[in-house]
Amino acid sequence: MFMIGKWSATVGRAIRRPSAPMTHTLIALCCLLFVTGPAAGLNPVHGSGEALLAAQRAYFHRWGVVPAELFQGSPRAALTPATALFVHGSWVHLLGNMLFLYVFGAMTEERMGRVQFTLFYVGCGYLALLGYAAANATSQQSLVGASGAISAVLGAFLYLFPGARVTSLLPFLFFLPLRFPAWIVLPFWAALQWLAAGHAATGPGVAYLAHLVGFGLGFVYAWVRFGRTTRVKSAPATAPEGENQP
């Protein structure tokens, strides 16, 4: 589990908020789909008790990735690594992902541009979930969430803004706020995902492998697409804050 609970990033020469309409649109879409779907438990059309649980299982199976079904040639199943990016299993799952996207997506989108960022987000998210499914090809468990895509955003952010200062609150240091550059914080996060992936069989149902695949894809994409001359060094400007893990 990622132990850094609260984030803020600073980069650039002017104090302003990045223009990130697609990041905000993705957040709004995920939130809208969640509160109207059965996972939130707010829509009375899905019933309550056992009926609600059945509706949730059917919803996750329909829109989530089921590895055992993905490689059977079904066109519907082939689309699920894309649809699963907009489905979340709980309030904690949703809020954790959206806060990370809010923190790191804005500057990444501004650097890439709206169209490129959107294609990057969906494409890397699709491949991250596909990679997880390939490694767990016999699993019947539905996989949902934007974690793979948001991990790709983290990887791209690391390459594009390695010197951005990330303010972190560490629980084991009594939530003392400390500031580290992205090149320290984000590889540390990736290392935790690697360690967690090695114990995934005995831990909670978190697709750590999808996080790693997404992170690697995002970093490599930014490296190939933008090259060394486009990396941005840190300077005193502010960006939003968030908490939890994707």
* 180/161 Cα distance (integer angstroms): 12
- Determine which one of 147, 151, 199, 234 is catalytic: 147
Place of tokens 């008790």: 49
In whole angstroms, how far apart are CA 144 and each of 16, 19, 244?
34, 28, 17
Angle of the 114-135 helix axis to the 91-112 helix axis, nearest 10: 130
Does residue 211 have an active-site annotation? yes
Residue of 76, 13, 245 whose CA lies nearest to 146 = 245
CA 198 and chain centroid, separation: 20
Q: Give the C-alpha separation, 61 to 53, whole Å.
A: 12
Annotated catalytic residue 147: yes
Residue 80: CB atoms within 10 Å: 27
Rg of the Cα trace of the chain?
Answer: 18
Q: Which residues are catalytic?
A: 147, 211
